[in-house]
Structure 1
Amino acid sequence: MAAPSITDAALTAGSKIGKYFSIVTMVPTLFLVLWTYLLIKGDAWHGEPNLKALGVRLTEWSIPQVAWLLLATFVLALFVHPLQFATVQLLEGYWGSSRLALGAMRLRVAHHRKRAQRLADRVDELDVLIEESFESHPAYSEDLDEETYHQLVDEYLDSDSANHLLAHLVARDALQASHERYPVGRRIMPTRLGNTLRRYEDVAGVQYGLEAITTAPHFSLVIPEPHLAYLRDSRQLLDTTVRLCFVSLLATLITFAALLTDGLWLLVTLVPYGLAYLAYRAAIAAADEYGTAVSTIIDLDRFVLYERLGLPRPRDTDEERRYNAQLMSLLRWETTATTRYASLSNEPSSSRQLYRPTKRIR
């Protein structure tokens, strides 16, 4: 009777801790535990894997075995869970300050700077080819102003006359999308995931004078619950794909160690490595989704933030940027920064009621 109680405890412990822990940590860790279990049951640590013995042993599942596997998953997940932030940073390209780490970062940043430049150059080349094709069209004239020129180019590309440019248009759009994942040159990171996240760090809210990194904790405390749920779901997707990549890389190392002397069996290492690669590419896509969520939250809820901070509502974007220049200084703990707070009369009615004197009962 002890085994079912252990099983029940292992199955429900993750949900009792929280949905985030169950999805982001428990499920990926279960994959790592099961993969290691298959290597052990297949005798991979004692010689070449024995698929026949593995097949027989997999038909001998028992409740105690399931319970112990789930318990091992839960215990391992507890130790892995606090490493989530460090794992994201590792995949972003924050590799430390040692000489080896700095050297690796320098090489990877140089690689991505060259790649970003190649993408930009290729986009420019395709734009030139497209413009040269338009200039041979009867609609082109040398005395066209810039606005009319671009309008006629768009009309030309929408017409059947530009069908021969289809390959160029598809290639330009694909290359442009890849280039837009990069931040400006001085801010380029060693990895694709790092570059995607840093780009959103740099551009989200910049049109209002807001810094996404500085204001993100404040937004999370004041935005409406539906918006917060959207933001959490986007972050959870990013964290899940990062954790899947991390445990797949661990499975790759374990498989490599188990099959190192087993000849062609070493190719099995490509299975968890391929899953790690797929998870990493999924993490890049999830980073795009998360960055879009952060940008959207700033667009929709920045006035809620201003109100909760007691700031006046700006009359236009120019005034908003001037206010936010001082606000960012304050939120960065710069004691010399100053800003003007909203007067009581500018507060919403629900807030003004807190200061309204009560009427006497006669």
Structure 2
Amino acid sequence: MSDIAKGILGGGWGLVVGWILPTLINVALFVALAPTVSGVSAGDLLSGAATPTVAALGAGVLVAGLVLAAVQNFLYRVLEGYTLWPGAAQGWGRRRQLRRKRLLTDRHDAMRLAAAEAAGQDVAEAIAPYRAHRRLSRYTRRIEGSAVAIGLAAERLRRYPIDDDQIAPTRLGNSIRRLEEYAWSRFGLDSQVLWSELVCLVDEQARKEESTARTNVDFFVCMLSGHVLLAGALAGLWLAGTLSGPVPLVAAGVLVVVARIWYSAAVRAVDSWDGAVRSMVNLGRGRLAEALGLVMPATLADERAMWQCVARLIRDPAEPGAASAVDAYRKALA
């Protein structure tokens, strides 16, 4: 038993909290809403009766949680706006998210200028276009330029990647994309290519923080996926005549609304995940260079050039000049 507990705490806790627990919640909701279909009543679950049906249901929850964890990349890609999204829908989503990013940028700039004006700075010429804009004029008022409002606007803006070419079709996709492109935009380091190496070299505490932050996002992704599937199942059973009355349809509608809330929670939960990945990159890239036998350059421009050479070598080692470009940064053998 102690070995099982150590295994859960050591590596399986993210699986339990991120995928099995939300699966259990969704299955419990299905039992409560469709007891005649599941063959188990809510009273059986609350009483803890060890009936064969309850035992089978528990095993089903475990298997379903493991299956969802195994296909998590698929679920994430759907919610990010890639998998199952037609090309036209992806293009529409990217344009929509780019307009949203630019609007958030303008709002943030307007509030910063309003705060500067309130502090006595001469920003009349810079703030005039924002005051004349129908949708941005309200953000030039003094109350909108407060430090709290500016901080919240900056927080929403940081959920987008810096490079407009990296914009994804959905809010969750952009929130995740900004942590994926952080190392590249700052240091030229392709963290997606060198992620396994980076994880092996950072401190245990940094790995735990990244795993915990990722688990929080997994929980919300699993909850909203389960809610959508449960809503579809209830609607399908109602259409098939297995369930009757307005309760199944009302419950399906409520589940869809709650799933939308879980989606927003997942977007916000990525903030902690982003912070953990950012610290791993900031603190671990020096160790990564040393482990790869490279000398960290003195300037940031040279460091960017080095990591880009390393990424090019890993992606296509047969590319002419890829190996010799990395040789310029390698340590001399003793």
TM-score per shorter chain, which class? 0.7 to 0.9
Structure with max Cα Rg: 1
Cα distance change, pair 315–234 in 1 and its aligned pair in 2 (3 A) = same
**Is 1:219 matched up with 2:202?**
no
The code of the aligned residue for 1:237 comes to N
- What CA RMSD, in Å, does the superposition of the two structures yield over aligned residues? 3.3
1:130 is displaced (CA, Å) by 4.2
Q: State the number of aligned residues.
A: 300
Paired AA for residue 306 in structure 1: A
* Equivalent AA in structure 2 for residue 177 of structure 1: E
CA gap 1:114/1:214 in 2 versus in 1, 3 angstroms = same
Cα contact 2:190–2:308 (8 A) shared by 1: no
Q: Which residue of 1 aligns with 2:156?
A: 178
Q: Report how far residue 303 of structure 1 moved.
A: 1.6
What is the match of residue 103 of structure 1?
A: 88
The 2-side partners of 1:69 and 1:303 are apart by: 49
Amino acid at match of 1:103: A
Unaligned runs of 5+ in 1: 1-7, 46-52, 143-163, 346-362
Separation in 1, partners of 2:158, 2:44: 51
Q: 1:342 aligns with which of 324, 331, 334?
A: 331
How far did 1:86 drift? 0.8
Is residue 38–residue 54 contact of structure 1 (8 Å, CA) maintained in 2? Answer: yes
266, 269, 275: which is aligned to 1:283?
A: 266
Residue 70 (structure 1) shift:
0.7
Question: 1:205·1:298 contact (CA, 8 Å) conserved in 2?
Answer: no
State yes or no: 1:85 paired with 2:73: yes
Q: Distance in 2 between matches of 1:201 and 1:192?
A: 14
> Which residue of structure 2 aligns with residue 155 of structure 1?
none
Tell me how far 1:253 sits from its aligned partner. Answer: 1.6
Q: How does 1:1-362 map to 2 (within 5 A)?
A: 18-41=12-35, 43=36, 62-64=49-51, 65-96=53-84, 101-133=86-118, 137=120, 165-169=142-146, 170-183=148-161, 184-259=163-238, 262-263=245-246, 266-335=249-318, 336=320, 337=322, 338=324, 339-340=326-327, 341-345=330-334
From the superposition, tell whether residues 18 and 211 of structure 1 become closer, same or farther in structure 2 (CA, over 3 Å): same
Structure 2 unaligned residues grouped into runs of 5+: 125-140
Q: Hey, what's the Cα distance between the residues in 2 that align with 1:68 and 1:62?
A: 12
Aligned equivalents of 1:303, 1:55: Cα separation in 2: 55
- The percentage of aligned residue pairs carrying the same residue is 24
C-alpha distance in structure 1 between counterparts of 2:223 and 2:287, whole Å? 36
Contact 1:95 1:102 survives alignment (8 Å): no
C-alpha contact 1:205 1:299 (8 A) present in aligned 2: no
Is the CA contact (8 Å cut-off) linking 1:209 and 1:325 kept in structure 2? yes
1:149 counterpart residue number: none
Instruction: Tell me by how many angstroms 1:195 deviates.
Output: 0.5
1:44-65 deviation per Cα after TM superposition (whole angstroms, max 9, x unaligned)? 89xxxxxxx9677777752114
TM-score between the two structures when normalised by the length of structure 2:
0.77
- What secondary structure is seen at the aligned counterpart in 1 of 2:194? helix
Range with greater deviation from structure 2 (299-308 or 100-109): 100-109
Q: 1:67 to 1:187 in 2, by over 3 A?
A: same
Deviation at residue 196 of structure 1 after TM alignment: 0.9
Instruction: Name the CA distance, whole Å, in 2 between partners of 1:141 and 1:23.
Output: 50
What is the CA–CA distance in structure 2 between the aligned matches of 1:209 and 1:28, rounded to whole Å?
38
Residue pair 1:28, 1:243 contacting (<8 A) in 2 also: yes
C-alpha distance after superposition, 1:240-273 (max 9, x if no partner) = 2212221122122223334566336522224433
Secondary structure of the structure 1 residue equivalent to 2:193: helix
